[in-house]
Amino acid sequence: MRELKGRVGLAIAVWAAAATLFHLWTAGFGFFEPRTQRSFHLMFLLPLAFLLYPADPKRSPTDRPSWLDGLLAAAGVAVNVYSYWQANRINLRFENVDALTTGEWIAGIVATILMLEALRRAVTPVLAGLLAIGIAYLFVTEYMPGMLNYRNMSTEEIVETMYLLNGMGMYGSITGISATLVAIFIVFGAFVDASGVGRLFHNLGTKLTGRQSGGPAKVAVVSSALFGTISGSSTANVFTTGSFTIPAMIRLGYPRHFAGGVEAAASVGGQIMPPVMGAGAFVMAEITNIPYSDILYAAFLGAVCYFFMILVNVHFEAKRLQLQGVDPRDIPAWNTVVADLHLMLPVLVLLALLSVDYSPHYAGFWSILTVVGTSWLRSGTRMGPGVIWHALVAGGKNMVIVALACAGAGMFVACLTVTGIVIAISTAITSVAAGNIFIAGAMLMITTLILGMGVPTTAAYIIGASIGAPILIGLGVPKLAAHLFVFYFAILADATPPVSTASYAAASIAKTGPIRTGVSAFRLAIAGFVVGFSYLYTPSLLMEGPPLEILGQILVNLLGLTIVAIGFSGYGRGPIALPLRIVLALAGLLLALLETWSPWPRIAIEVVILALLFYVPGLFGRPLPARPAS
């Protein structure tokens, strides 16, 4: 992103702040009709893609926008102003019946080209490439073989699909979710971040876990979980918390690639951690018509399993390396933590409003106002005009990537939907799976991971859910479980090599290879794979069913993941030989996932294994001799 100052920088900042104020106003006082709301949403954010992101990413971030960037930004405003100006006529036209006017032809073609270039610049060339392939496919579908074959689509019909339809395409329902729910929570994250809550999370994590073996790594896990649920972006989380946790882990003695992997895995998990989660959770609520508060409730135990696995991993790695905790002089006193505790009040307000069935966007609006109000409870955290201005600008800029990713994903899903490819792919996967949920889940996992390796989480989830969720639901998986399955793997793609954006970000801070960092992150995030597949077989992990069944499910996962962590780290009570490590890792995974057995026999086996590991001297390794003091 460009870092601009002077008149140009001020003009862009004013535009970004105006975008934030527009979304704040509509969240608090009522949205416009859908076409108008979505047109204003993209009118503010599409031009910012050309002004903030250079055509060549290698250009200096201080380079001013060129005349071509300005022209593209003006065109981005124009096509959305046209959509707003003609909203009433577009809403009343008969789709796929009425002919396009000259203005619609021009605006539709220009808007599609602009969206492709904006995706390439601001989001990822992968999503831009996917959309380009999808649009190209619409032109040649009648010549394609097998399930790819479809009737001839005229250019007019293609332009209409991309630009004029209200249910799909650029101004479809996915963009509608971005223009309402997602936007307001991105603004909420910007205000919470500006209030200094990152300092609170770091101090709290240090106080809770800093004294323990490998304390800085545990601080990274706790602070990333807390901050990640607010930011909703794994990469932003890495740069925000990793800038101080990764160097601290390296100074303590963790290998560089492992330190980066810890931060990447923890930051990725922030998107599955209630009470806010990532933008994809809001999209899920709208797609499934399941209340957002129900999704938060159902996701809680899975998030606990995920972060528990990372904490156990870093603990045993610290034991193996004989690492100590944080220097006691660097651990804040409780009064320092408590001094910032009021900054959590906006999150409590958000949860309270959601629990009494206020709409998420309205709850988000009042939570943002609460951020400003509660910051004034103490002199050290007060948000003055300068800080509020910074939050308004940051909110507008942060919305760009998510808004474009949602619009681009909506256009790509339209390409799949109008040609029937979604149904054809679903039929093919269902045929291969032959009713086996595990095989269908494995195929969808691979598909979603491949999509997510180059596509933002929200877009990967939208595309994956359009294909995969109906398949799983058709095999008897509950709707929420099916969507959480896809959501998990869309998120885990950010920590799965070879292309894992969070790992690349963490590697740049740790100054190590991104592939080694990605492998470490993948190993640490293995709990996400276990939880994802557990959702397919049992409702207990979704907090559904008798309390005893829920307890059994959480215990069998936690104990199984502990065994896996010991196998991965190669250390229990002492060093463990490689063959036994492999056996332990596989046994832990099998016991956690063997849903054909009741959880209680599996728990008994896991307890026996752990008891043998820790209470039978010399059976699986002896403690290392104490490391000499340096």
Q: What is the pLDDT of residues 477-506, one digit of tens each?
A: 999 999 999 999 988 888 888 767 788 888
pLDDT band at 618 (very low <50, low <70, confident <90, very high): low
What pTM, to 2 d.p., does this model score?
Answer: 0.83
User: Cis link prior to 498 (omega < 30° from 0)?
Assistant: yes
Which residues, 6 or more positions from 205, have their beta carbon under 8 angstroms from its beta carbon? 218, 219, 220, 221, 222, 223, 226
Kindly tell me if the per-residue pLDDT of 429 is higher than 70: yes
Mean pLDDT of 587-599: 91
Higher model confidence: residue 239 or residue 528? 528
Which residues, 6 or more positions from 97, have their beta carbon under 8 angstroms from its beta carbon? none
Residue type, 449: L
Query: Cα separation of 593 and 574, whole Å?
Result: 27
Query: Cα separation of 509 and 519, whole Å?
Result: 16
Mean pLDDT of 301-329: 86
Mean pLDDT of 366-386: 91
Domains of the chain, by residue range, sit at 6-176, 552-625
- Can you read off the two tokens belonging to residue 258? 């492992």
Q: Compute CA distances 308 → 51, 226, 527, 531, 559, whole Å.
A: 42, 14, 9, 12, 10
Residue 335, pLDDT score: 85
Higher model confidence: residue 82 or residue 417? 82
Kindly tell me if the per-residue pLDDT of 291 is higher than 50: yes
Identify the helix (H) or strand (E) that includes residue 65: none
Kindly tell me if the per-residue pLDDT of 450 is higher than 50: yes
Higher model confidence: residue 199 or residue 75? 75
Average pLDDT, the chain: 87
Residue 426, pLDDT score: 84
Kindly tell me if the per-residue pLDDT of 219 is higher than 90: no
Residue 329, pLDDT score: 78
Q: What are 91-141's pLDDT values in tens digits? A: 999 988 899 999 999 999 999 999 999 999 998 888 899 999 999 999 999
- 575 has which bridge partners? 571
pLDDT band at 214 (very low <50, low <70, confident <90, very high): confident
Q: Hey, is 575 helix, strand or coil? A: strand
Higher model confidence: residue 202 or residue 262? 262
- Can you read off the two tokens belonging to residue 31? 């949205």
Residue 360, pLDDT score: 84
Kindly tell me if the per-residue pLDDT of 629 is higher than 50: no
pLDDT band at 323 (very low <50, low <70, confident <90, very high): confident
Query: Cα separation of 453 and 456, whole Å?
Result: 8
Kindly tell me if the per-residue pLDDT of 623 is higher than 70: no
Q: What are 35-46's pLDDT values in tens digits? A: 999 999 999 999
Kindly tell me if the per-residue pLDDT of 630 is higher than 50: no
Residue 36, pLDDT score: 97
Kindly tell me if the per-residue pLDDT of 365 is higher than 50: yes
Residue 386, pLDDT score: 94
When mean pLDDT is compared across 10-19, 324-333, 540-549, 585-594, the lowest value belongs to: 324-333
Identify the helix (H) or strand (E) that includes residue 341: none
